[in-house]
Structure 1
Amino acid sequence: MKIVFLDRYTVANVDTSVFGLLGEYSEYDYTYPDQLIDRCKGADVVITNKVYFGEDEMKQLPDLRLICIAATGMNNVDLEAAKEHNIAVKNVVNYSTSSVAEHTFALLLELYKAIPHYDAYVKDGSYSKSGRFFYPGPVFHEIHGKKWGIIGMGNIGKKVAAIATAFGAEVVYYSTSGRNMDAGYPAIALDELMSTCDIITIHAPLNDATRNLIDLKALNLMKPTAYIINVGRGGIVDEAALATVLNNDAIAGAALDVYSEEPLSADSPLLKLNNPDKIVLTPHIAWASYEARNALVQKIVVNIKETFNV
């Protein structure tokens, strides 16, 4: 069996030598479209995180039997074309639930507790020079007693709900699909969630129902003291609209780990806010704890073994 990993950088420092125990294995840090066919010739299995596979690629790879997506989302593979070419496609689910849920709280607490400001105050010597044990700086808040709205009640949404409840928040949710429900929490309309919640977190996939779901109209429903966090998919939140409401002080703050264009454009309005302290940005890392990436590799191994009965 010949196995090729096309964008190995996505699992970074996780050991991938286990693939070599299954057959002839080669890996590439990243693969550009004009390199794909040469690298995949003769391969039975291709592993890809973001490298795209469509009809044109598949018809040139007659030996290909399995595409392993090193992620949950399957947008980078033409599933209909794969079916026509008798190529199995397998993704990995539930490997990063804890990682994304924990990152949600890391982003929130960074904002909610004004951590960057207070950290800088101590490290730049201001605290040492103050002569006081306490510094009454920017206002910060407790999660306890706040109303927390979750958009997307899949596995990650449910995990966030449980943790938020442990903090003492009142959790409500909006199911973007109408299928992922949880009887333990009230399901409410999106407009009600946007207008009544103190904290709003997004854990939904990007599809026709969620693209630009959180537009200027939705953002303007939020309370001026509310915060919104997107760790779902870029494209769900209209980033220009988000910049507008932040610049107008219409909401208290925001945090994003995902963007409509990745990497984030240097011209993004999110990088040019009047007050950059109102936003926290991370480079699509919520899913990528060491433990999650290791679990991802192990589950890809299982997918290969199950497909080839080895």
Structure 2
Amino acid sequence: MATIAQLAGVTQPTVSRAFNHPEMLQPETLERIMQAVNQTGYVPNMVARSLASSRTRLLAAIVPMLSNVVYSSFLKPFTARMREAGYQTMLFESGFSLQEEERLVEMAIARRPDGILLTGATHSETCRRHLRSAAIPVAEVWDLADDPIDLCVGFSHDESARHAARYLIGKGHCRFAVISANDERAYRRREAFSQTLAAAGLELPRRVDLPSSASIGQGKAAFGALLESGFDQGAIFCSSDIIAHGVLIEAARRAVDVPGRIAVMGFGDQDFAAEIMPPLTSVQIDRQRLGEEAARLLLARIEGREATPARIDIGFGIIARDTA
């Protein structure tokens, strides 16, 4: 900074103001300083700045899969809003494992981020204890917690599945199947879907629980297994659009009429859902709003402002298309 000040013909505190409060400087002064910065390749020491201000300007976001568009689509508006406010986001991938999430939370806390974003409301007791004792603002997203750690933005997975079941019953279906990825929230939706059928006096659905996360290949294999088990007519509720896409591909390969013989409903309403043939009926979640609300609440908490409401239900909807 002393070198920058000498080259720009200003004092060292003026250089500091150029980085921290550029609006306080005359445009020509700021331009001279930035020219000196470009000439030398100087980069401010953020570690030193964080020690002085007790702010790292870093956030930690932990999601099950970075490659899954369900999570990346709410991370995008979240990180964009935080970047506008001067924060950068460290991304961690837990792989749907509570033990891995616990390890990543410990790793994140050790770096003292200004805030933490978590996916879901189910965590190990050790993880919850670490987060509460760290006194770092936390936003849980993609689920609604009855007892949130701090802030929560999500929707009811149970109610979304009940709504899906009632929709398919209303379309006249009497036989059902559920294909679920290896995910705690998907299993909760499966159980709520089944309970709704039972309450309506219908037989419980055929179940296919996948051994891993969702994929087109898993969807194809699951549909094949359902056909081989005798399920050749009815409605299939899939825990993700990716699985439903696989079902539709396999149905087309086997010349199974959709929705004539088999109706298919996905979950998440991903961008491709409206473009595939036939267009996929799906449960829609406003992931853009989810990311924006999480960023708004977390920023308010970090900056000492009131974060209200601390628990936001963004809801869901059924987008009816040709498959159901």
Structure 1 length-normalised TM: 0.40
Question: By percentage of residues, which structure has more helix?
Answer: 2
Structure 2 length-normalised TM: 0.39
Which structure: larger Rg?
Answer: 2
